[in-house]
Amino acid sequence: MRVLSEWSYKQLRVSVLFMNEKYILKVEDQLCEQTYKFRDGQVDNVEHLQQQLTNDFYDRCLQQLAQMRQDADAIMQPEDNEEDFIEII
């Protein structure tokens, strides 16, 4: 896997990678990430891909990643029926 390009958009970290004849667009925010794979021929080069990424695309990514963080936080919330442990001093 080769990293072809990396840049930031607001708090997002955006990377373009190339592996197995596929371009991979990775969008990260804190501990969550989204990955988009494009077959060879769909993307000519990194610049072509960057031109396709609009502010609307990035804003949707920000919304989806925020929802992913909420979902992850919900997974880690203790259940109401868990026993409380005594505090050990």
pTM recorded for the entire structure: 0.79
14-29 pLDDT, tens per residue?
999 999 989 999 999 9
Is the per-residue pLDDT at 87 higher than 90?
no
46-83 pLDDT, tens per residue?
999 999 999 999 999 999 999 999 999 999 887 655 56
pLDDT score, position 76: 84
- Apex CA 82: angle with CA 78 and CA 83, to 5°? 130
Specify whether the CB–CB gap between 7 and 14 falls below 8 A: yes
Say which residues have a Cβ less than 8 Å from residue 12's Cβ, sequence separation at least 6: 27, 28, 29, 58, 61, 62, 65
